[in-house]
Amino acid sequence: MLPVVAWRVKDWVEPLLYRVICISDTLPMDGFCHFTVDIVYRAITRKPASFFHHAIRNLFLEDPRGTRPADYIAKMHSILAVCTGISDLFADSSLAAPMLTDTLGVVPLDHLTVDVSSLFDGRMMDFSHPIFL
């Protein structure tokens, strides 16, 4: 009976670990779990997308230091594709910002913090884009 209870508690508690995701290669922020892009990428390949839709609410993105930009962008596309339930997004990432308009256009964000010029990657700024609704 004990393993069944432990499994059930894990199902209740595990989503709380993913409520706030800080993807960063620098020192962790006090009070938040610290994830690298590789850790989150491995997690999304092992769990169903619905888990991340319901669990992740706040996402912080920072440019990687040790990852090749092409690898980072490919992994971030996969990560952002399952983060469809986020409400707050902070992107201090010049690499991730341009893909946000493509990936998160259907996500109902409450708060968006991003360098707007990097968001459109040199294109004309379009504030009628669904990400701003």
47-95: pLDDT as tens digits: 998 999 899 999 888 877 767 778 888 888 888 888 888 999 888 877 7
Nearest-angstrom CA–CA distance, 89 and 87: 7
Residue 113 has pLDDT above 70, yes or no: yes
Query: Residues 58, 91: contact at Cβ < 8 Å?
Result: no
Nearest-angstrom CA–CA distance, 82 and 55: 10
Q: pLDDT band at 1, cuts 50/70/90?
A: low
Which of 4-13, 100-109, 113-122 holds the top average pLDDT? 4-13
At 81, phi and psi to the nearest 5? -65, -30
Q: What is the pLDDT of residue 105?
A: 66
